[in-house]
Structure 1
Amino acid sequence: MDTEIWIFLSGTDWYVPHLLKLVLSFLFTLRLLVLVLGERIAWKDDLSDLVCNSTRVGCHSECYNQFSPLSPLTLCSLQMIFLCVLSLANLWYFRDNTYRQLRCCSLFAKGLIEGAFLFTCVQLYSGIFRPSSFQCNLAPCEQPVTCHLLKSRLKDDFVLLMVSASLASLSICVLAVCLLLGKWLYNTGSSGEKLFKKLCLNYYSQGKNAMLMQSQTGYNPCI
């Protein structure tokens, strides 16, 4: 049971070193806690936290859509959902030893999810953080309208924690892949070296037997 919990929290299995698995589990748990606390403290109503100096109907909503096409809380929630689905797949689908060799794919998938989250975050907000104030020039607003985001510092801290944890998790995934690749190359090299030594030994034995036959009978197989 304890092993299954570690597998779920880390999203990996036996092929990852214990220390890296421990750090991945900590980062996953930390993000879950930050997500729950952030929703209760900073993200109760992100739309209401955007204040614009306009009274026209529909202006506030249009400015919010321009300001934040996708809420950081929603983006982080989607990321955690994908990570949970990956952990469940790794826990249940790959439990059978038939798929044991495919378990390394979960490590690549985890790194892909982390990288996709970071890339989407940067592309959506032209950086990690959303601006605390901006000018809105969309209809039906007056030209121009100034909007300010309340609790911007608290929300920036939330995003910073999630992005930092995701970046650390991505780095650990890359490190684990490098370790696995190095281990595979080492094992492949050792197997090749053993095969080479075996072939050399067989060749030496055959040559020695041929020389012994030639010395006893005078027969030279090369003639």
Structure 2
Amino acid sequence: MNWAFLQGLLSGVNKYSTAFGRVWLSIVFLFRVMVFVVAAEKVWGDEQKDFKCNTAQPGCHNVCYDHFFPVSHVRLWALQLIFVTCPSLLVVMHVAYREDRERKHRLKYGDNCRRLYQNTGKKRGGLWWTYVLTLVFKIAVDATFVYLLYHIYEGYDFPSLIKCEQKPCPNKVDCFIARPTEKRIFTIFMVVTSLACILLSIFEILYLVGKRCRECFTSGHHSRHIDTNTMSSGSNLMESNSMKTTGKNTPETPAPSYSVAVS
């Protein structure tokens, strides 16, 4: 699997993400992808070869291993990383769609025409919903895989001794897992990083919703303030016009002549 190619694609998401989104990407690639590539595959690389049972019955070893490890941890985490990172590409695709619309609009109406988007990468309208839905999908994927890991393996612990009674084993046999403590540490580490990513995505959704509500409240308050100023200016203009009209209609009393004043 070419993780460098996936990292190169998702690096473009940084410029369209919030601060929480950038931290999320850092955790995914530094603490999940890098640990998965460098250490996890080596820890689980010999899990089937070093899974030992105290019996020589043909088929018993394979049946017991399949019973306790129905899905490999490495493959399960690989699926989780693919499903949790690919939705971020929807944001990049949506921005590319906006840029293509803007380019076609300029070709049709000229460079001096009114723009469709003031900023194609700004999270407004459909892009805001796309971004929020990708966050919801990431939370759902991480939560689902954390639950599957707990449900399939009945917890995150790896006991040193396992009792197996599956057929064709002749009786209850003892089986031993290779390096159970090391596997337990890496499993808990991957689960904790998944929970951290879930919390970051929740915080990012709350941040986006709160920011949007604040902008709507501010714009509504600003529009009401403009309407109030318009009404007050209109009333002042009407008062000044009425005063001018009253002044024009008032008759002026002529000054008395000299003879009238002397008499």
Structure 2 CA distance for partners of 1:56 and 1:128, relative to 1, 3 Å:
same
TM-score (norm. length: structure 1): 0.79
Q: In structure 1, what is the equivalent of residue 127 of structure 2?
A: 100
Q: CA deviation at 1:177?
A: 0.9
Q: 3-state DSSP class of the match of 2:47?
A: coil
Q: 3-state DSSP class of the match of 1:80?
A: helix
User: Max radius of gyration: which structure?
Assistant: 2
Q: In structure 2, what is the equivalent of residue 220 of structure 1?
A: none
Structure 2: state its 5+ residue gaps.
1-5, 102-125, 247-263
Structure 2 CA distance for partners of 1:40 and 1:199, relative to 1, 3 Å:
closer
Letter in 2 for 1:8: L
TM-score (norm. length: structure 2): 0.68
Aligned residue among 150, 173, 177 for 1:122: 150
Q: CA deviation at 1:7?
A: 7.1
Letter in 2 for 1:112: A
The answer (yes or no) to whether the contact 2:64–2:166 under 8 Å persists in 1 is yes
Q: CA deviation at 1:41?
A: 2.6
Q: CA deviation at 1:195?
A: 2.6
Q: In structure 1, what is the equivalent of residue 27 of structure 2?
A: 27
Q: 3-state DSSP class of the match of 2:87?
A: helix
CA deviations on 1:84-105 (whole Å, 9 max, x unpaired) are 4334444345433266332333
Q: CA deviation at 1:184?
A: 0.8
The answer (yes or no) to whether the contact 1:15–1:104 under 8 Å persists in 2 is no
Bigger shift: 115-124 or 7-16?
Answer: 7-16
Aligned residue among 190, 215, 224 for 1:187: 215
Quote the Cα distance in structure 1 between the aligned partners of 2:92 and 2:153. 35
The answer (yes or no) to whether the contact 1:43–1:73 under 8 Å persists in 2 is yes
Structure 2 CA distance for partners of 1:15 and 1:84, relative to 1, 3 Å:
closer
Letter in 2 for 1:132: S
Q: In structure 2, what is the equivalent of residue 164 of structure 1?
A: 192
The answer (yes or no) to whether the contact 1:9–1:28 under 8 Å persists in 2 is no
CA deviations on 1:51-97 (whole Å, 9 max, x unpaired) are 11121111111111211211211111111222343344443454332
Quote the Cα distance in structure 1 between the aligned partners of 2:60 and 2:228. 82
Aligned residue among 199, 203, 219 for 1:175: 203
Structure 2 CA distance for partners of 1:11 and 1:86, relative to 1, 3 Å:
farther
Letter in 2 for 1:14: Y
Q: In structure 1, what is the equivalent of residue 257 of structure 2?
A: none
The answer (yes or no) to whether the contact 1:11–1:86 under 8 Å persists in 2 is no
CA deviations on 1:146-178 (whole Å, 9 max, x unpaired) are 111011111112212211221111111111111
The answer (yes or no) to whether the contact 2:21–2:201 under 8 Å persists in 1 is no
